[in-house]
Structure formats: structure tokens, C-alpha cells
């Protein structure tokens, strides 16, 4: 069983989300970096996600098109800034057509087959940080991470 995602602010532009998985770090890291696995957990419940590009290396780009159950599409894109297999992934995250870019840092620590994921989001402004938290970043991450756990649990 995994824990609830929790959110906390650490600066005027940053917030952290944490989650624990009953799974090895290698499987959690693969869920973030394998284009076959990402659609299985990043898509909204009842929706879909198409990976248009995913080059997981420093300087590589990604582009995802997420389709909600009501047909509404949102495109996310970014660049990988740091890739340390199994322990750390740093990338930019932006929504096409909207200003601002977030720097996301995923740190994974495994102990006895249990992985602690710490996601630090650096937003372009305090207002952007507050909007993400108000919009429900923690609940959204929790829903996605629950799907991620199911995806890796079922291979």
C-alpha cells in the first residue's frame, strides 16, 4: 500500500510533493522514462495520453498530448536537464499555449524494495506556485501516482 501524496512549500516559488511506492526505484524510474509506460499513468482517468516525442537524455525533448474523457486535449512539453538512472530526473514542464515553465526534479530513494519519490517543482513565480497548489497539484499527483503504481504492479 502506498501513502498519500503530501504537498509543502519550501520557498516562494517552490513546492514539494512526496509519495511512497511499494516498488523498486528502477520500476518507478522506468515509469517516468519509458514511452510505453508513461501513457498508462499520466493520462487522466478515463482519458488517454499520446507520446509524440520522448528523448530521455540531457537536452532531449518530450511532448505529450493528453486527452480528457470529454475530448479536451492539452499538450505538455519540456526538456530533460538531468538524467541519473534510478535516482534522479530533472526536466522542464510547460503547457502549450500557456506562459511559464516549471522545473521538475524527481528524486528516488529506495530502501528494502520501497521507494520514496520526492518531486520538487520550481515555478516561474509565487503566483504560479500558488495557482498550482490551489488548482490541486497534490490531488492530481496522487491520482497519477496511484495509476503509476498500478502500471508497474501489473507489468
Q: Which pLDDT tens digit goes with each residue over 31-52?
A: 999 999 999 999 988 999 999 9
| 44 within a domain of the structure (yes/no) | yes
> How many other CB atoms sit within 10 Å of the CB of residue 31?
22
Q: In angstroms, rounded to a whole number, what is the distance separating the alpha carbons of residues 20 and 9? A: 19
| Residues spanned by the domain of 140 | 6-153
Quick check: 23 pLDDT over 90? yes
Domain membership flag for residue 1: no
Contact by Cβ (8 Å): 94, 100: yes
DSSP 81-125: EEEETTTEEEEEEEETTSS--EEEEEEEEEETTEEEEEEEEE-SS
141 lies in a domain? yes
Q: How many domains does the chain have?
A: 1
- Does pLDDT of 6 surpass 70? no
Which is more confident, 21 or 7? 21
pLDDT, tens digit, 9 for 90 and up, residues 108-146 = 999 999 999 999 999 999 999 999 898 888 888 989 999
Q: Count CB atoms within 10 A of the CB of residue 68.
A: 14
The 10s digit of each residue's pLDDT in 133-143 is 988 888 889 89
Kindly state the percentage of the chain with pLDDT values over 70: 95
Confidence at residue 52, expressed as pLDDT on a 0 to 100 scale:
98
Residue among 121, 155, 153, 124 at smallest CA distance from 18: 121
Decide if pLDDT at 1 tops 50: no
- Domain of 108, CATH number, reads 3.30.530.20
Determine the pLDDT at residue 2.
44
How is residue 108 written as a grid cell? Answer: 528516488
Cα–Cα distance for residue pair 92/103, rounded to 1 Å: 4
* Counts of helices then strands in the chain (DSSP H, E): 4, 8
- Say what the pLDDT of residue 3 is: 47
DSSP summary character for residue 14: E
Amino acid at each position: 500500500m502506498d501513502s498519500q501524496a503530501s504537498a509543502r512549500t519550501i520557498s516562494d516559488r517552490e513546492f514539494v510533493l512526496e509519495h511512497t511506492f511499494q516498488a523498486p526505484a528502477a520500476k518507478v524510474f522506468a515509469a517516468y522514462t519509458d514511452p510505453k509506460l508513461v501513457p498508462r499513468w499520466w493520462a487522466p482517468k478515463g482519458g488517454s495520453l499520446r507520446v509524440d516525442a520522448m528523448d530521455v537524455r540531457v537536452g532531449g525533448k518530450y511532448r505529450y498530448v493528453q486527452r480528457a474523457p470529454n475530448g479536451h486535449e492539452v499538450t505538455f512539453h519540456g526538456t530533460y536537464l538531468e538524467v541519473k538512472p534510478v535516482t534522479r530526473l530533472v526536466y522542464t514542464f510547460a503547457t502549450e499555449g500557456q506562459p511559464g515553465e516549471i522545473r521538475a526534479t524527481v528524486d528516488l530513494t529506495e530502501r528494502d524494495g520501497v521507494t520514496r519519490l520526492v518531486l520538487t517543482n520550481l515555478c516561474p513565480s509565487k503566483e504560479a506556485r500558488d495557482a498550482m497548489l490551489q488548482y490541486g497539484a497534490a490531488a492530481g499527483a496522487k491520482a497519477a501516482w496511484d495509476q503509476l503504481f498500478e502500471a508497474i504492479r501489473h507489468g
